[in-house]
Structure 1
Amino acid sequence: MKTLLALIFTAWTSLALAQAPAADLPTPGTKDLCPVCGMLVSKYPNWVATIVYKDGHAHFFDGAKDLFKFWHDPGKYAAGHSRDQIERIAVTEYYGLQAIDAKDAWYVVGSDVLGPMGHEFVPLASEEEAADFLKEHKGVRVLRFEEVGAGLPLMLDQGRFE
């Protein structure tokens, strides 16, 4: 019985943690600009990505592509900010339009779905959703957060996906 209760508690805790980013994540205001491209982020709520720092400061992005550009060179876009100051990173997942942990997301590139800045890393909540999206939207490949190198977001800007 104790083992069953421990398993239930572990599953419940994991679910609660998976949903945590959306629960207390700040939302972009009407004048918040993407630090990478300068677009008004609130105009594209289905694509919002967010970095929250340990001091509570947040940067909002108009898509995962600009989030990845920032991630690979934060000092270029926001002087005085570095990766070690980051507390949370979230992206808006495609199907449910909910904020999820960016490091847990699955990203499809090369699909027929374009974001505010053209070709985009389309965030999905699960491997199964990513595989379905890849087929349905003629995607080229699926990536995890750690697989996105510094050059890939720039390649997407050029319509290159490999």
Structure 2
Amino acid sequence: MAPLATDKCPVCGMFVSKYPDWVATVTFRDSTTLFFDGAKDFFTYYHNMRKYTPARKQDAISAITVNDYYTLKPINARQAYFVSGSNVYGPMGKELVPFGKQADAQAFAKDHKGKQVLRFADVTQAVLKTLE
């Protein structure tokens, strides 16, 4: 599902459709979908949902997708590999660059000075602070 021109990131307020290659989505069991301008803002939201959507909880999420950096196809964020600290920037600056394959993430990290290849559970608030 692609964002509409009016869809804004709930974290930063940016119009998401301007940056389709970086879009991350959260779909809830009630079919509501939120769009983010990148994995970094998605994780910021995920770790502090009470701030951005007080009535929503993590256990109500049915799907989370990010776009694989190389293929630009949506992938399950919970299965993705994320490169932090690279010299590739997203719409909001420093970004977590997502990949569907570990080998692609490792090659990208090597080629673009990435500091770490992380899995979903590894992306903590401490990691997000390094991207500010």
TM-score range, shorter chain: over 0.9
**Would you say 1:55 and 2:30 are equivalent positions?**
yes
Secondary structure class of the residue paired with 2:118: strand
Does 1 or 2 have the higher relative contact order (CA < 8 Å, sep 6+)?
Answer: 2
**Partner in structure 2 of residue 152 of structure 1:** 127
User: 1:78-93 alignment to 2 at 5 Å?
Assistant: 78-93=53-68
- How far apart, CA to CA, are the structure 2 residues paired with 1:155 and 1:76? 21
Structure 2: which 5+ residue stretches go unaligned? none
- How far apart, CA to CA, are the structure 2 residues paired with 1:152 and 1:43? 26
Higher Cα Rg: structure 1 or 2? 1
For residue 96 of structure 1, the aligned residue among 55, 60, 71 is 71
For residue 110 of structure 2, the aligned residue among 135, 139, 150 is 135
**Partner in structure 2 of residue 123 of structure 1:** 98
CA deviation after TM superposition for structure 1 residue 75, in Å: 1.4
- How far apart, CA to CA, are the structure 2 residues paired with 1:76 and 1:155? 21
- How far apart, CA to CA, are the structure 1 residues paired with 2:111 and 2:26? 30
- How far apart, CA to CA, are the structure 1 residues paired with 2:50 and 2:57? 7
CA deviation after TM superposition for structure 1 residue 78, in Å: 1.3
- How far apart, CA to CA, are the structure 2 residues paired with 1:138 and 1:152? 16
The count of aligned residue pairs is 132
- Runs of 4 or more consecutive aligned structure 1 residues displaced over 2 Å after TM superposition: none
Structure 1: which 5+ residue stretches go unaligned? 1-25, 158-162
Secondary structure class of the residue paired with 2:31: coil
**Would you say 1:45 and 2:20 are equivalent positions?**
yes
- How far apart, CA to CA, are the structure 2 residues paired with 1:84 and 1:106? 22
**Partner in structure 1 of residue 43 of structure 2:** 68
TM-score by length of structure 2 reads 0.97
Give the structure with the larger strand fraction: 2
CA deviation after TM superposition for structure 1 residue 154, in Å: 2.6
Give the structure with the larger helix fraction: 1
